[in-house]
Amino acid sequence: MRGIVSTDGVMGGQPRIEGRRISVLQIVEWVHEEGMDPETVAAEFDLDMADIYRALAYYYDNVESMDPWRERRQRRLREGRDDQHRPDSASERV
């Protein structure tokens, strides 16, 4: 079972799925903003369903601390400087 971790120097320290370069915010965006089914996200990125729901629960349990990450990402997207990308494959690991 993977947890949610924040590691200095990995993805800017933002919360992510342990052992992966997939952030909590990416999961939230894929599921709630892009409308991907949690099952599709899990299959596409070789995650367990528990990883997806753990990330979503973490986000909603910590909305206030996640807001600065969301604002930073939105600002960088507007400026054309996206610092996160969709991993090309499930093989992208820490």
Place of tokens 């400026």: 79
- Is the pLDDT reported for residue 90 higher than 70? no
Domain extent listing, the chain = 4-78
4-78: CATH class: mainly alpha
- Is the pLDDT reported for residue 88 higher than 70? no
Stated pTM of the model: 0.77
- Is the pLDDT reported for residue 18 higher than 90? yes
DSSP 30-92: IIIIS---HHHHHHHTT--HHHHHHHHHHHHHTHHHHHHHHHHHHHHHHTT-------SSTT-
Question: How confident is the model over 39-86, as pLDDT tens digits?
Answer: 999 999 999 999 999 999 999 999 999 988 888 878 877 888 655 555
